Structure 1
């Protein structure tokens, strides 16, 4: 497991109280995800944070495995899920790439606001494909800094040294879409609230 969990453990309580920056955008993404859910859907979310997505989606899915590096994030996620009586969410701490799970068991793998934080997003995409059933969906929302926040790129290492930012990778939407396709997915839907916003993608693992 990487050491990134220490940064997220440290900020978990504060993070859990911060409001959603773009509620209409978030609701649009949730609506699109829900449109693919059934009472039989088995979903895995990696980088689940404090569990906001999982809680909103749980009533529409069969089961959700919510995973994260941060034990503190998961503690908050579980507490809030338990408060709502959501019994179809299970939680597992760990590096997504190191999760010991059988291949081809999930209908959906969800990674929201996480790919740009990973050391190896290509491996994460490959892991998602491995865990999905044929025809399963990989859904992600990803900050593409080079499309609107390129001016921040030079200060990211400084912010990381000062403890203000986690490690962040800078790339653009064209790069991300190419990488998702190269990982063996077919992109079915893409959306951004505005040109500089996170890119939301619904991609399918071929059924054949």
Structure 2
């Protein structure tokens, strides 16, 4: 965890300047997510990075708690939020386990482009299920490292060795879906914009 925080703190300024690689796919994910939102909803986003997605979603819900392991990411996110005039996002540094979050207190939880960066994916999914209200939704978008091009699977360890890439968890689509089902979720929407990624909306049983 300490190494991951150091990596993302160092990466934050460059990450903030990077452009979205596939704008069309990103916009579709935003639209699909907002179809589930309600104006009175409380939302949690973990691994929020520099807050770009939380800022876009904020007008559609009552409140968003956005968390990240990196202080530097959150500093940038806070500045962007103030500049946008958004007042219903609160940022907290930490993980789902380290933060004092009450069980069954969120209508929706977002884990976007973060699950494949975690060592304890099963524990995280179980915690998400615990934090959601009955009937709440978990929106996730993640890379499927074991299904990306073989070239990248070979290159990632090299990049990690020279500290140019973070830890990545290698799971397949079926492996990820099984984790969600085993945790007690029902899948409502599943979309693969490419072989190496997946977008899922899963609902906690009411």
For Structure 1 versus Structure 2, the TM-score category normalised by the shorter chain is: over 0.9
Cα distance in structure 1, aligned partners of 2:169 and 2:151:
14
Instruction: Say if 2:168 is the partner of 1:168.
Output: yes
Q: Give the match for residue 72 of structure 2.
A: 72
The change in CA–CA distance for 1:185 and 1:150 in structure 2 (over 3 A counts) is farther
Q: Give the match for residue 148 of structure 2.
A: 148
Cα distance in structure 2, aligned partners of 1:164 and 1:194:
24
Q: CA deviation at 1:99?
A: 1.6
Asked if the contact 1:2/1:95 (under 8 Å) is kept, the reply is no
Q: Give the match for residue 200 of structure 1.
A: 199
Cα distance in structure 1, aligned partners of 2:195 and 2:7:
29
Cα RMSD for the two superposed structures = 1.1
| 1:101-125 superposed Cα distances (whole Å, 9 cap, x missing partner) | 1100000010000000001010110
Runs of at least 4 residues off by over 4 Å: none
* SS of alignment partner, residue 127 of structure 2: helix
* SS of alignment partner, residue 153 of structure 1: helix
* SS of alignment partner, residue 75 of structure 1: helix
Q: Report which stretch shifted further, 168-177 or 39-48.
A: 168-177
Q: CA deviation at 1:155?
A: 3.3
Q: State TM-score, norm by structure 2.
A: 0.96
Q: Give the match for residue 11 of structure 1.
A: 11
* SS of alignment partner, residue 40 of structure 1: coil
Cα distance in structure 2, aligned partners of 1:93 and 1:3:
15
Q: Give the match for residue 189 of structure 2.
A: 189
Mapping for residues 8-87 of structure 1, pairs under 5 Å: 8-87=8-87
**Gaps spanning 5+ residues in structure 2: where?**
none
Q: Give the match for residue 89 of structure 1.
A: 89
| 1:151-197 superposed Cα distances (whole Å, 9 cap, x missing partner) | 3223323211201100011111111111111111001001122223x
| 1:11-61 superposed Cα distances (whole Å, 9 cap, x missing partner) | 101110000001110100000111111110100000000011101100101
Cα distance in structure 2, aligned partners of 1:150 and 1:46:
29
Asked if the contact 1:153/1:170 (under 8 Å) is kept, the reply is no
Mapping for residues 71-150 of structure 1, pairs under 5 Å: 71-150=71-150
Asked if the contact 1:55/1:86 (under 8 Å) is kept, the reply is yes
Cα distance in structure 2, aligned partners of 1:10 and 1:170:
24
**Gaps spanning 5+ residues in structure 1: where?**
none
Q: State TM-score, norm by structure 1.
A: 0.96
Asked if the contact 1:97/1:123 (under 8 Å) is kept, the reply is no
Q: CA deviation at 1:73?
A: 0.3
